[in-house]
Structure 1
Amino acid sequence: MTPTLDPDWLAARINDVSIKGIAAAVAELIRSGEIPPGTSLPPVRTLAEILTVSPATVSAAWGQLKRQKAIAGKGRSGVWVCGDNLTARPVRFEKIGNYGSNIRADLAMASPDPALLPDLREAMLQGIQCPQLNSYQREAIAPGLLAAIQPGWPFPAEAWLATDGGFDAMNCIAQTLFMPGDKVIIEDPTATRLLDMLDNIGAEVMPLACDEQGPLPGALKMLLNKGATALIYQPGTHSATGHAVSKTRSEELAQILAGSNTLIIEDDGIGELAARPAQSLGHHYPDRTLHVRSYSKAYGPDLRLAVLSGPQALIKRIHSWRNFGASWTSRILQQAVAWMINDSGTQQQIQRAKAIYRQRRRSLLDALAKRGLDLPDRDGLSLYIPVQSEQFAMITLAARGIAVLPGERCRSGSNQFIRVSTARLASNEIDSIADALVLASGLDSSAIRSDL
């Protein structure tokens, strides 16, 4: 018989009765072996009564432990300890790339083509000339980088912070400003790692439907009425679908947000490779908008650089949290990117790369259209392709040596799709890839058009 934990014994070992405190205490007891795998935990209501907290508090703590794969079960069947591995992991993201050894065309990661990235030799020489080289001063952003980015920033921000890439900035925001149980509105679909971050925090994900112009105002209004803490969206080119927020849609969203105090978080991951500028809500709400722009895809992923802007109070909190670790982003890299932003040769290279990425995307779209799949030409480094079954699509493509990203990694809803990277497509592969994609979709042209 499975042993059931004594609720009084467990309650006596919980000193902090918050969601995080309960989860942390139970996690430590599991990790130390005091609660062995297979042990049934007390009923939620029983433990809540002893701790004098609401059942929702205990339930949320259990939810956090479930996401860490420490406990399992629900409802009348009860909850039990299933393991002692409590290290947080980005589960969705780590699954990307496990496609076997027979893959000839890896189209899963929408990453830039190294051959189209700017030459970094001169930029790195400029980087080591930064005025504060080797200083331990924990400045938020190097003055040279700030001067370079401000003229092209989407709104006049109050404070700035350089980070080690776009996802580092988003994780800093999540770790600093979110609590377990917070209700966070996020586009559906969205970037894979953003969902992993929210799961790790224990936030409640509230999927936001989108169309060709971005998040739907009506859907946003409905979710705001449910007490959302924050809105996360991509104000420029969307990483999964390729759509871009229009100026009209941005104004509509601003009107909906006027009646709330919801924090606005903008993730501009493609940055300067986008066909048109991001439409930031910071124009309307500078006191509650955090805007992240990554420079990885346009300038180089090993630069590990992004910039976060927002109100002084929030940026200060995020910067303080970074003091647990690196405290500041390499000034050498900041100075290098600042130089490239102002260098005409680098900017010409970026424009050339944009044109080639557009041509490669267009070539695959034309090949699919000839085979009966007529998809819209959006933007970005990938294509969003609705499919009848993601599982069928993945198996079909893998059998032909092609890897793509299944929609399940970046969606909360039920719409079936795959994301196909076009950034590194070779012209001699396009026809065979198009043949495989048509077969994998399992849909005819009219069905796909109605699902876009």
Structure 2
Amino acid sequence: MGTVDPRLQALARASLDADCPEGYALELTHGAVDGIERLLAAWLLPGDRIAVEDPCFLGSLNVLNAVGHAPLPVTVDAHGMQVESLRQALEAGARAVLLTPRAHNPTGASLDAKRARALRQLLAAYPQVAVLVDDHYALLSQQAYHSVLPLDGRRWALLRSLSKPLGPDLRLAWLACDDETAMRLRLRLASGTGWVSHLLQDAATSVLASATQRAKIASAGERYQQRLQSLQELLRVRGVPTPLPMEGLNLWLPLPADSHPQVLALAARGWHVRAGEVFAVAAPGHGLRITCAALGAAQLRQLADDLAAVCSL
């Protein structure tokens, strides 16, 4: 804790206290993906199985592939991880679960209270399984946070990124966890970079301590959601339905078959989108991930026209 600026620590606890078990430890990492890598290294050995969403955030998949963990796919619907699919992964020997409670990337799904409660009840039957909650979109989210953490003394961690609201070059994330996990993280950090840059901490603190800047962050989250919903509605009236509800910087457009014809056709029209297959763990993952958070009204209309045109390919 000595490497965490006291002002930033106070801001972090104001965000985390209501959503964490009492007496939790607070750490910093160089962004959410760095936190995921450090946590899995602290908890698991190469070859260990970990339950992940399918489709799964590409950064998380890259971490798993780099360190040699075996991902067990858990299907996702509009309300996040599906309970029976997670049960199958736990029965198959998962030693940890990596879960996104809000703005899942790529699908935009968020847990509702009913799904979170069901997942929490299921996890309570597996106290040996570590739970990593990647709440990367927390500071921009328009959705309520619903915890899946059983209060049973297991290994757990909750990550909240500051890079999403403050900018991708400000690589910081708050990490709340149990005491044993915190000790392992500190030992791992001590043998490497030693601490998270105090210049970055000062920059983050200056922004988050300002009521004016916090209002701008809240307004940005609202605008991102409005643009996403606007694109969904524009697609709906053009006969292209998308899953509801959805949140985040991206729109997820499922497709019945390989997405590469649509990716190439959109590139010819000036749009760069991500093929959904790269997010797949086991299922084919056909679809398009389309980042729409920075698009204006005219651009959204043109994008909707072009998506409707290429979806027939």
Matched residue SS, 2:109: coil
Q: Aligned residue for 2:144?
A: 277
1:345 Cα deviation after fit: 0.4
Cα distance, 1:211–1:349 mapped onto 2, change above 3 Å = same
Question: Which amino acid letter does the alignment assign opposite residue 419 of structure 1?
Answer: R
Q: Aligned residue for 2:248?
A: 380
Q: Aligned residue for 2:82?
A: 216
Q: Aligned residue for 2:51?
A: 185
Moved more, 344-353 or 430-439: 430-439
Q: Deviations over 1:38-94 (max 9, x none)?
A: xxxxxxxxxxxxxxxxxxxxxxxxxxxxxxxxxxxxxxxxxxxxxxxxxxxxxxxxx
Question: Which amino acid letter does the alignment assign opposite residue 368 of structure 1?
Answer: L
1:396 Cα deviation after fit: 1.4
Residue 171, structure 1, aligned to residue 37, structure 2: yes
Residue 399, structure 1, aligned to residue 268, structure 2: yes
Identity %: 28
Q: Equivalents in 1 of 2:251, 2:213: separation in Å? A: 27
| Residue 101 (structure 2) aligned to one of 221, 235, 240 | 235
Q: Flag the structure with larger Rg.
A: 1
Q: Aligned residue for 1:199?
A: 65
Q: Equivalents in 1 of 2:169, 2:193: separation in Å? A: 17
Q: Aligned residue for 2:278?
A: 409
Residue 344, structure 1, aligned to residue 198, structure 2: no
Q: After TM superposition, list the pairs within 5 Å mapping 1:28-47 onto structure 2.
A: none
Matched residue SS, 2:157: strand
Task: Answer yes or no: is the 8 Å Cα contact 2:109–2:245 preserved in 1.
Answer: no
Q: After TM superposition, list the pairs within 5 Å mapping 1:55-134 onto structure 2.
A: none
Residue 434, structure 1, aligned to residue 300, structure 2: no
Q: Aligned residue for 1:134?
A: none
Q: Equivalents in 2 of 1:362, 1:370: separation in Å? A: 12
1:226 Cα deviation after fit: 1.2
Question: Which amino acid letter does the alignment assign opposite residue 294 of structure 2?
Answer: R
Q: Equivalents in 1 of 2:168, 2:237: separation in Å? A: 35
Q: Aligned residue for 2:160?
A: 293
1:384 Cα deviation after fit: 0.5
**What number of residue pairs does the alignment pair up?**
306
Question: Which amino acid letter does the alignment assign opposite residue 407 of structure 1?
Answer: G
Q: Equivalents in 1 of 2:152, 2:208: separation in Å? A: 27
Q: Equivalents in 2 of 1:286, 1:271: separation in Å? A: 24
Q: Equivalents in 1 of 2:245, 2:114: separation in Å? A: 20
| Residue 4 (structure 2) aligned to one of 121, 136, 141 | 141
1:271 Cα deviation after fit: 2.1
Q: Deviations over 1:304-363 (max 9, x none)?
A: 110111111111111211223211111232233234333210111112212221222122
Task: Answer yes or no: is the 8 Å Cα contact 2:130–2:154 preserved in 1.
Answer: no
Question: Which amino acid letter does the alignment assign opposite residue 262 of structure 1?
Answer: V
Q: Equivalents in 1 of 2:15, 2:271: separation in Å? A: 38
Q: TM-score w.r.t. structure 2 length?
A: 0.92
| Residue 225 (structure 2) aligned to one of 358, 361, 365 | 358
Q: Aligned residue for 1:225?
A: 91
1:163 Cα deviation after fit: 1.1
Q: What root-mean-square deviation, in Å, do the aligned CA atoms of Structure 1 and Structure 2 show? A: 1.8
Q: Deviations over 1:116-169 (max 9, x none)?
A: xxxxxxxxxxxxxxxxxxxxxx83522221111212212145211111111111
1:403 Cα deviation after fit: 0.9
Question: Which amino acid letter does the alignment assign opposite residue 261 of structure 2?
Answer: F
Question: Which amino acid letter does the alignment assign opposite residue 172 of structure 1?
Answer: R
Q: Equivalents in 1 of 2:67, 2:138: separation in Å? A: 26
Cα distance, 1:283–1:185 mapped onto 2, change above 3 Å = closer
1:380 Cα deviation after fit: 0.9
Matched residue SS, 2:146: coil
Q: TM-score w.r.t. structure 1 length?
A: 0.65
1:283 Cα deviation after fit: 5.6
Residue 419, structure 1, aligned to residue 285, structure 2: no
**Structure 1: runs of 5 or more not aligned:** 1-137, 444-452
